[in-house]
């Protein structure tokens, strides 16, 4: 823990942590020492972790990357972080993120962007140009990649665990919707949000997910299922499994190196005993537009609670409407305001059927595509995790927001269908930046994902 505290202090230029909590870390580490001395070590005893600042931490500020929660100190602990502390893990601090987890580059945080520890190498010269770590769990991914924690919590609404993991050469799993409790995690889009770990190896992810997940009566969408021994699944291999390759993910303009990596991943799985099968997920092309209706719709509703009355920022005004307006104008950033406006629009009378209801119907069709593939004997599906490697800071932030949204083409389908998905580092691009492959599984079959991604890792 002390070594990590020092490493975090030395790496402040990356801006991975919004808040460092060294006193809490050392107190937890002391408690771990006592457990070990008493011969009563728990499964994660003394392991120093970072917590995405979307998880409420009792007595420790939780900002969600937003100015509107700058001075919010929860008086309760999120279910996921509480599970980690129950198992003996140590909290190093709260990790930076896109504001309310909206973004793909960690450039929308009110606390500044996160810088990836990676750099491009062109003609054997390492470039100085800073690279994004991906988003929204950019602080989690950068901290894990830069050894500023052993593992981190993250959340994924449309790709925010898998895309930053792919951009930083780390492993990230979004489990099945309902595997982890959402209780005490700041809500973005409640029917899509799911917590999961980012870590440096598949095995570390399996161990962390085992601790983070589990039933919880306080979240009615949390599944009442036993938590499998994920760690045991890691070395299970892929012999006899059928891995689907969906042809619709071969999108126009996909860089040749991504296609090569994808073929290479399929070859590795085949060599390890899996059968590779071309499959079709015909509604894939509608996933991204449907996601950018459903997610903002739910966000506009969830974010209505930030009104300057109950908690968070309050900008005084003469009347209640003025209080709402001034507080929300000052407290929310541009991307959050854009989502609230889109969400309010698609939910409004006259547009609800044309946009929101249609997006929900598309969501069902996307889910059925996956169900058909699994019913036909496919055990897991292999795709690239992202359409490109990480980009430079500022390169896409100022452009058309839709360009940023395109980062999520390969990941949002998984959230729309509620399925588990893992991103595993699989190689480097021509400029030496990491690339990830994604494996998508059957509902509540994270074990197959751990087994298959271990073969690629």
Q: Which run of H or of E encompasses 380? A: strand 380-384
Q: Interface with ligand GLN includes 159 (CB under 6 A)?
A: yes
What's the rounded Cα separation, in Å, for the pair 227 and 119? 38
Q: Rule CB under 6 A: which of 91-150 touch ligand GLN?
A: 101-104, 136
| Cβ proximity to ligand GLN, 57 vs 137, nearer residue | 137
Give me the least distance between CB of 292 and ligand GLN, in Å please: 7
| Binding residue for ligand GLN, selected from 288, 295, 346, 416, defined by CB under 6 A | 295
Q: Interface with ligand GLN includes 197 (CB under 6 A)?
A: no
Give me the least distance between CB of 396 and ligand GLN, in Å please: 12
Q: Interface with ligand GLN includes 413 (CB under 6 A)?
A: no
Give me the least distance between CB of 117 and ligand GLN, in Å please: 21
- Tell me whether residue 453 is one of the annotated catalytic residues: no
Q: How far apart are the first and last CA of the chain?
A: 27
Give me the least distance between CB of 164 and ligand GLN, in Å please: 9
- Tell me whether residue 398 is one of the annotated catalytic residues: no
* E-state strands within 247-379: 275-279
Residues 200 and 160: beta-carbon distance below 8 Å: no
| Cβ proximity to ligand GLN, 242 vs 407, nearer residue | 407
User: What six digits make up the tokens of 352?
Assistant: 């609800």
| Cβ proximity to ligand GLN, 90 vs 101, nearer residue | 101
* 8-state DSSP, 61: -
Q: At what angle do helices 256-271 and 446-456 cross, to 10 degrees?
A: 110
- Tell me whether residue 160 is one of the annotated catalytic residues: yes
What's the rounded Cα separation, in Å, for the pair 440 and 421? 4
From 31-39, 157-165, 262-270, 419-427, give the range in contact with ligand GLN by CB under 6 A. Answer: 157-165
| Cβ proximity to ligand GLN, 315 vs 347, nearer residue | 347
From 114-122, 151-159, 342-350, 376-384, give the range in contact with ligand GLN by CB under 6 A. Answer: 151-159
Catalytic residue among 66, 105, 160, 453: 160
Closest to 439 in 3D by CA, of 389, 376, 370: 370
Closest to 165 in 3D by CA, of 191, 201, 190: 201
Catalytic residue among 104, 109, 136, 453: 136
Q: How many CA atoms lie within 13 A of 221 on its CB side?
A: 13
Do you know the residue count of the chain?
457
Q: What is the dihedral of CA 185, 189, 191, 193, to 10 degrees?
A: -50
Total residues contacting ligand GLN (rule CB under 6 A)?
13
Closest to 63 in 3D by CA, of 249, 290, 304, 306: 306
Residue ranges in contact with ligand GLN by CB under 6 A: 101-104, 136, 156-160, 188, 295, 408
Q: Catalytic positions, please?
A: 52, 136, 160
């Amino acid at each position: 823990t002390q070594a990590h505290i020092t490493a975090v202090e030395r790496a402040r230029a990356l801006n991975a942590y919004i808040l460092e909590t060294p006193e809490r870390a050392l107190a937890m580490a002391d408690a771990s020492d006592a457990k070990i001395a008493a011969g009563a070590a728990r499964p994660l005893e003394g392991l120093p972790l970072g917590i995405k600042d979307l998880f409420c931490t009792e007595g420790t500020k939780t900002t969600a990357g937003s100015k509107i929660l700058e001075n919010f100190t929860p008086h309760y602990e999120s279910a996921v972080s509480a599970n980690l502390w129950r198992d003996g893990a140590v909290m190093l601090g709260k990790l930076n993120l896109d504001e309310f987890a909206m973004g793909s580059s960690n450039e929308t945080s009110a606390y500044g962007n996160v810088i990836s520890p990676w750099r491009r190498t062109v003609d054997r010269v390492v470039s100085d140009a800073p690279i994004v770590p991906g988003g929204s769990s950019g602080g989690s991914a950068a901290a894990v990649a830069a050894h500023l924690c052993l593992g981190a919590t993250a959340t994924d609404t449309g790709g925010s665990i898998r895309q930053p993991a792919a951009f930083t050469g780390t492993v990230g799993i979004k489990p099945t919707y309902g595997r982890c409790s959402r209780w005490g995690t700041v809500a973005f889009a409640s029917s899509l949000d799911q917590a999961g770990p980012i870590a440096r190896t598949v095995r570390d992810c399996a161990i962390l997910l085992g601790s983070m997940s589990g039933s919880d009566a306080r979240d009615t969408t949390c599944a009442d299922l036993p938590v499998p021994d994920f760690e045991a699944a890691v070395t299970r291999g892929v012999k006899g499994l059928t891995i689907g390759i969906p042809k619709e993910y071969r999108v126009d303009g996909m860089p040749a190196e991504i296609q090569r990596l994808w073929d290479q991943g399929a070859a590795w799985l085949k060599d390890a005993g899996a059968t590779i099968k071309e499959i079709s997920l015909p509604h894939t092309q509608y996933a991204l537009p449907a996601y950018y209706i459903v997610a903002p719709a739910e966000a506009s509703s969830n974010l209505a609670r930030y009104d300057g009355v109950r908690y968070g920022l309050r900008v005084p005004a003469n009347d209640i409407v003025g209080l709402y307006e001034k507080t929300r104008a000052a407290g929310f950033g541009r991307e959050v305001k854009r989502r609230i406006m889109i969400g309010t629009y698609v939910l409004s009378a006259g547009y609800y059927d044309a946009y929101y209801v249609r997006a929900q119907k598309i969501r069902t069709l996307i889910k059925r595509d996956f169900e058909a593939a699994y019913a036909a004997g496919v055990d897991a599906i292999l795709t690239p995790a992202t359409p490109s490697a990480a980009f430079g800071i500022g390169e896409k932030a100022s452009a058309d927001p839709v360009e940023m949204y395109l980062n999520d083409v390969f990941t949002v389908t998984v959230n729309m269908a509620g399925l588990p998905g893992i991103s595993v580092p699989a190689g480097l691009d021509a400029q030496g930046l990491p690339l990830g492959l994604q494996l998508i599984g059957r509902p509540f079959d994270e074990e197959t994902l751990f087994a298959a991604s271990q073969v690629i890792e």
